[in-house]
Chains A and B, each alone.
Chain A
């Protein structure tokens, strides 16, 4: 803002001063932007550094055993036994179960929206899905706690338990008694939460298919499903997998949707109808009353979660970048 004023004041002949002012302004702005860009890298460095510092006492005390210990006994004195196997197990089980439900349904909706849907309702449904993707996760969590968990536990679980009572293996996975606080209920809420997200991404990815390709296939006499199977999905494979992994990254780190209904139990029972915990739920529920090495172990859990999601998200981004290269962007 000040630069033009300066030109007026000094007159058109004073080129040198005006140019110097421009140069200073240019250089300042350049460095401001560059420093801000570096700040983004610093945030990542800061996250890793602060988590390692916070987790250091626990790393020193438990070392590698932390990853393979099932027991979680912070109240033991003088030295508590803390192991991450329970939360890691819970995180992986709930995320995979949620993906198992949400991916087929979400992709189905995306295919419906891009290929089968009458144009009149395509936009409203698409917008509704995108708006739902923005609803904060705590809303899903409390709905699961008050509405979904009681319903599933009273009506769905007993039937499943009775059905698979005598089938080997399945009677372990679906073992009773039904519990309001369970891995299954948490997974279901998680699935409903990531559903709009998966739908929105898959739809965006499907829309990158050039219409010419699809029309050629239709011209050869393909049915809509054959076009989807043979043209749309192969063309967008990298993007779809990238999108799914992005959703997986979300599910792994989600806190508020699962904390209320997972039960915060560190036991590994093998049954998805029993209470469990995830890394993020364990941190959220125990952080307030933790101190000393217990606190440090929770931060170490956070570090594990960050490393886990970092790997998944990095893979997802590489996949999505490959799709973009294909488009020649």
Chain B
């Protein structure tokens, strides 16, 4: 009998060690990535990065100013287009069509779009926007990002509205408030922090998207605020610089990668803090 106990205890111990090993193994890789990113990225960080344009081949000076601006512009516009649509669609799923057949399909398709390969979304916008408009543009890039933002916002809006207690809605209705105002004044207010968290996470998600921009916004070396032309942006610039033979370009690629990562981490952390605040209430 005691032999059996010992065997079971031993097995438990072996698994315990294996699981601990898995955690150590996984975290080591991830730690190594962050370490390389910070050590190589910080080495190239200087004011020039934020004030100079992306350099031409072979040049030893230059920064990422135009790429940073392009990325910020396209991300903001993409989130700006995607958020209202996602918000309204999420509202329909949670408030009006909670048990309808249509909502079932929308929910299912939305979940698939949520993890659809971003390169396919790039091809979609290439076929639907770039070809008819006759050229690559920052606008097409923003649209591609918007298509990625929509499912994320739909999902969080629906989830957050479902958390709002029905008594709140009933109380408002009993006071004679029409349905649309119940949603806009009461339900949105109750779900506000959750929805904002979702929008921040969606922003973080698209800030580093590269594949869809390869076929839509392309990139260039100039300061350009015209949305109808090709637009420099950090991810595509990194993509081009990584594969180049110039040491200075590679250095800039690391710095750009660090900037993107920091932005994404900051957005994630703010979203998380907001979420934690909501739970405490």
B181 close to A3 (CB less than 8 A): yes
A116 close to B127 (CB less than 8 A): no
B residues near A40, Cβ cutoff 8 Å: 89, 106, 109-110, 113, 150-151, 154
Q: Does A156 contact B (CB under 8 A)?
A: no
Using a CB-CB cutoff of 8 Å, which residues 55-114 of chain B contact chain A?
84-89, 91-93, 95-97, 102-103, 105-106, 108-113
CB-defined interface of A203-228 with B at 8 Å, one 1/0 digit per residue? 00000000000000000000111101
Q: Does B272 contact A (CB under 8 A)?
A: yes
Q: Does A253 contact B (CB under 8 A)?
A: yes
A310 and B257 CA atoms in complex are apart in Å by 30
Q: Does A33 contact B (CB under 8 A)?
A: yes
A259 and B242 CA atoms in complex are apart in Å by 11
A317 and B251 CA atoms in complex are apart in Å by 41
Q: Look across to chain A and name the residue whose beta carbon is closest to the beta carbon of B236.
A: A138
A125 and B28 CA atoms in complex are apart in Å by 12
A253 close to B117 (CB less than 8 A): yes
CB-defined interface of A145-163 with B at 8 Å, one 1/0 digit per residue? 1110000000000000000
Number of A-B contacts (CB under 8 A): 257
Question: What is the predominant secondary structure among interface residues of chain B facing chain A?
Answer: helix
Query: How many residues does chain B have at the interface if contact means C-beta atoms less than 8 Å apart?
Result: 91
Q: Does B128 contact A (CB under 8 A)?
A: yes
B96 close to A34 (CB less than 8 A): yes
Q: Does A327 contact B (CB under 8 A)?
A: no
A315 and B33 CA atoms in complex are apart in Å by 32
Contact of B115 among A104, A226, A313 (CB under 8 A): A313
A residues near B210, Cβ cutoff 8 Å: 136-138, 255-256
B36 close to A225 (CB less than 8 A): no
A249 and B115 CA atoms in complex are apart in Å by 7
Q: A109-B19, A260-B243 are in contact. Are A139 and B37 (CB under 8 A)?
A: yes
B211 close to A25 (CB less than 8 A): no
A260 close to B9 (CB less than 8 A): no
A residues near B199, Cβ cutoff 8 Å: none
Measured CB to CB, the closest approach of chain A to B44, in angstroms, equals 13
A299 and B120 CA atoms in complex are apart in Å by 9
Q: Does A231 contact B (CB under 8 A)?
A: no
Q: A25-B178, A29-B183, A109-B23 are in contact. Are A43 and B113 (CB under 8 A)?
A: yes
Q: Does B246 contact A (CB under 8 A)?
A: no
Q: Does A79 contact B (CB under 8 A)?
A: no
Measured CB to CB, the closest approach of chain B to A213, in angstroms, equals 19
B residues near A228, Cβ cutoff 8 Å: 15
Q: Does A172 contact B (CB under 8 A)?
A: no
Contact of A284 among B87, B119, B180, B264 (CB under 8 A): B119
A141 and B243 CA atoms in complex are apart in Å by 11
B209 close to A136 (CB less than 8 A): yes
Using a CB-CB cutoff of 8 Å, which residues 84-139 of chain A contact chain B?
104-109, 111-113, 115-117, 125, 127-132, 134-139
A residues near B113, Cβ cutoff 8 Å: 40, 43-44
> What 20 additional pairs, Cβ within 8 angstroms, besides A109-B19, A195-B26, A314-B112?
A25-B181, A35-B88, A37-B89, A37-B97, A37-B102, A47-B116, A47-B121, A50-B128, A106-B26, A108-B22, A131-B265, A142-B238, A143-B36, A147-B36, A196-B26, A249-B115, A260-B242, A280-B117, A299-B123, A309-B115
Q: Name 9 interchain pairs, CB-CB below 8 A, sorted by A.
A: A33-B95, A36-B86, A38-B102, A135-B33, A139-B33, A225-B16, A249-B115, A252-B117, A254-B117
